[in-house]
């Protein structure tokens, strides 16, 4: 069977595939990662593929971790890989933010803002040929 016979066009997905679909979700608006899939798109793919908690999702270019987050919401283990240390940091941080109580977040924000002016500027990161691996078994 040819791969062409296995493909199909789904025009109804065009509005959910890009980052634009994440703009209404406060957690996913924290960092604008324009290459990201929308959470709704990933959740729809998990559903259409009938993935369960006995499956494993590999995201070789995890970016901000939308696929990893969606897999966690579905109790599916996931592994993400990205070259960018910033992308790995974001994808590690997003699930942690779900566990924070709103009043703790507000207190921490106020504390950090009060200290911001007292910190020296961070050095500029140099380009790297390294790959950063993110191994997640998230059950949110």
Instruction: Please say if the pLDDT value at position 101 is more than 70.
Output: yes
Fold of 15-114+130-136: Rossmann fold (3.40.50)
Neighbours of 109 (CB within 10 A): 10
Q: What is the reported pLDDT for 128?
A: 53
Q: What is the reported pLDDT for 140?
A: 47
Mean residue pLDDT across the chain:
81
Question: How many residues can be counted in the chain?
Answer: 140
35-90 pLDDT, tens per residue? Answer: 888 999 999 999 999 999 999 999 999 999 999 999 999 999 999 999 999 889 99
Q: Where are the domains of the chain?
A: 15-114+130-136
Q: Which helix (H) or strand (E) holds 135?
A: strand 132-136
Q: How far apart are CA 65 and CA 138, in angstroms?
A: 11
Q: What is the reported pLDDT for 130?
A: 52
Q: Global pTM?
A: 0.69
């Amino acid at each position: 069977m040819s791969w062409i016979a296995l493909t199909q066009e789904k025009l109804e997905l065009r509005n959910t595939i890009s980052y634009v679909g994440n703009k209404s979700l406060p957690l996913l608006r924290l960092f604008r990662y324009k290459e990201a899939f929308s959470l709704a798109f990933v959740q729809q793919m998990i559903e259409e593929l009938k993935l369960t908690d006995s499956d494993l999702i590999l995201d070789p270019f995890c970016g901000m971790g939308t696929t990893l987050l969606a897999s966690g919401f579905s109790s599916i283990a996931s592994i993400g890989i990205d070259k960018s240390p910033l992308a790995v940091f974001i994808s590690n941080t997003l699930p942690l933010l779900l566990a924070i109580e709103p009043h703790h977040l507000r207190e921490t924000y106020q504390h950090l803002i009060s200290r911001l002016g007292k910190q020296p500027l961070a050095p500029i990161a140099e380009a790297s040929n390294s790959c950063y691996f993110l191994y997640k078994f998230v059950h949110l």
